[in-house]
Chain A
């Protein structure tokens, strides 16, 4: 297994994004979020996603220079439109709004849409928790490619996705729940050899988990469940 210092890995990822037309500050921020996933032990959501993003940019599915727009604000609610750009950027914009609004009103909610999917939500709820906010976030996946079965052995009917929650602890640390709702095909086990719980496994012929992507990432974080 080859290893890089996190800063070097981040610079590598950012250089690839910049070369594909992503503005430098955005490239640095997105790469940092991905490296954080690698460092926390979730390589499927890590720097390998750069390849997914580069492919999406080439296909025109991800707008490299899109800026998230805050729209439709109410005192305790905000809508962020990603403009087809990075979900990480749209989420960061939403987090900034929520931190202020929740501080002012006690509670606030945000809806983010029209952004390219993110792999992991934990870094963003953690940002809110570090500012004294209890925070939860949910994202669904690609609705055209259901990945999760509703019943054991049933067909895939839910799109998967992720959820995360963060709560400030009394000692300054965070209670950080980080869950992946995407199930791997039943034939694939986890890194520890355990198979995913039956209820999360779609029938094999309907399962559409990204086996190729999973393998490239080292095969972790692919069945539903708490990440740690």
Chain B
């Protein structure tokens, strides 16, 4: 509901159930952290450390953004994996548009490690 209100109603793009609405509005909000005082960033870091220190059954705790950063580093090293169906779909478009499918590498996929838990139910 909050997303519908902010992105749909506030932007004027329209909400679910609204006839003729296109949807897909986007609402952004930005706050200059420096205006809130020098302690703000330190507080964020302290909170991250506190949450991480709370522990998990195995593998530790990830705060939001850390899992994605780890995946990004791994895919930068090993190459970006595409599912076979995605490859086929893009290859079909390449053929249709007369574009070349670039050669791929074939590094094995790896897991993120056992038991890591992310704050808030992250994948």
Contact = CB atoms under 8 A, between A and B. Distances in A.
Interface of A: 1-6, 8-9, 11-13, 15-16, 19-20, 35-36, 38-43, 46-48, 50-51, 54, 79, 87, 90-91, 94-95, 98-99, 101-103, 105-118, 121-122, 124-125, 128, 132-144, 146, 150, 157-159, 161, 163, 166-171, 173-178, 181, 190-192, 215-221, 225-228
Contact of A106 (B4, B32, B44, B67): B32
Interface string B17-60: 11001111111111111110000011011101000000000000
A94 B16 contact: no
A37 B105 CA distance: 19
A41 B48 contact: no
Given A12-B102, A48-B82, A113 B12 contact: yes
Contacts, number: 319
Nearest to A2: B104
B106 A2 contact: yes
Contacts of A1: 81-84, 109
Contact of B80 (A5, A106, A161): A5
B65 A176 contact: yes
Which among A35, A133, A138, A171 has the highest number of chain B CB atoms within 10 Å?
A138
User: What are the 7 tightest A-B residue pairs by CB atom distance, in nearest-first order?
Assistant: A3-B79, A176-B65, A218-B83, A170-B45, A228-B122, A228-B67, A143-B23
Contact of B17 (A39, A137, A157): A157
B24 A216 contact: no
B27 A6 contact: no
A12 B75 contact: no
A71 B39 CA distance: 36
Given A16-B99, A102-B30, A40 B72 contact: yes
A143 B21 contact: yes
A41 B68 contact: yes
B69 to A, nearest CB: 8
Nearest to A100: B30
Given A113-B11, A173-B69, A176-B64, 19 more contacts: A3-B78, A36-B72, A46-B82, A47-B90, A48-B86, A50-B93, A51-B93, A102-B31, A107-B32, A110-B27, A134-B30, A135-B31, A140-B4, A140-B16, A143-B17, A159-B8, A159-B23, A170-B41, A228-B62
Per DSSP, are chain B's interface residues mostly helix, strand or loop, or mixed?
Answer: mixed
Contact of A39 (B45, B80, B109, B120): B80
Which among B25, B97, B122 has the highest number of chain A CB atoms within 10 Å?
B25
A115 B24 contact: yes
Which among B29, B69, B76 has the highest number of chain A CB atoms within 10 Å?
B29
